[in-house]
Amino acid sequence: MTSILVLTEEALTAHDVERIATLHGTDQVSVHLLVAPEDRRDLVDALDDVALGRLPGRGRPDGVRGEQAVEQSRDALAARGLAVTAQLSGGDPVAEAAGAATDEIWVVTPPHLVEEALHRDWASKLRERTGRPVLHFVSGTDRVVS
């Protein structure tokens, strides 16, 4: 069984759930979902908002966060037949993800153009901290950032 840690900041989309459920074909997959609490806002986050045409500090208008994102995502993954545990991060989501004993680490987020360009995104930080490969998907799409 392949175990995947999925780090996200919003509820997974139907597309994200389908990708997680099918990427390993017929192999059994278990997922540990870690949802980061509300955005930590800093200058880089504000620049990302501006670069993507969002009002600074507002995030995505359709974003579901926190416990609701944990519940929605957990239920959607379980409905696809995956073994899933899910939780809201209690602190630094990168540190929690780095400490997870899983086969793979996936980051699924909306675009963060400035963070990605400066390698301050979660996937880059996780690669540095763990020395392991990390897949970074743009939520709701097939776009792999790195």
Instruction: Single out the residue of 37, 33, 27, 36 nearest to residue 2, CA to CA.
Output: 27
Please check whether residue 45 is in contact with residue 116, taking contact to mean a CB–CB distance below 8 angstroms: no
* Strand order, beta sheet including 2-8: 83-88, 29-35, 2-8, 104-109, 135-138
The verdict on residue 146 lying in a domain is: no
What's the number of domains the chain is made of? 1
Task: Quote the mean pLDDT of the chain.
Answer: 81
Asked if pLDDT for residue 17 goes beyond 60, the answer is: yes
**Beta pairing, strands 104-109 & 135-138:** parallel
More confident residue, 127 or 54: 127
Q: What are phi and psi of 61, to 5 degrees?
A: -65, -25
CA distance 21 to 26: 9
Q: What is the CATH number of the domain that holds 123?
A: 3.40.50.620
Q: Is residue 145 part of a domain?
A: no
Domain limits at 92?
2-138
pLDDT of amino acid 20 = 94
**pLDDT (0 to 100) of residue 92:** 86
Please tell me the predicted confidence (pLDDT) of residue 112. 64
Q: For residue 46, is pLDDT > 60?
A: no
Residue 144 lies in a domain: no
In a domain? residue 112: yes
The sign one gets for the Cα dihedral 134, 36, 29, 85 is positive
Spatial CA neighbour of 113 closest among 103, 121, 105: 121
Q: What is the pLDDT of residue 77?
A: 97
The pLDDT, as a whole number, for residue 122 is 84
Q: Is 14 a member of any domain? A: yes
Q: What is the pLDDT of residues 111-125, one digit of tens each?
A: 665 566 555 688 888
Question: Which pLDDT band holds residue 52 (cuts at 50, 70, 90)?
Answer: low
Task: Identify whether 104 is part of a domain.
Answer: yes
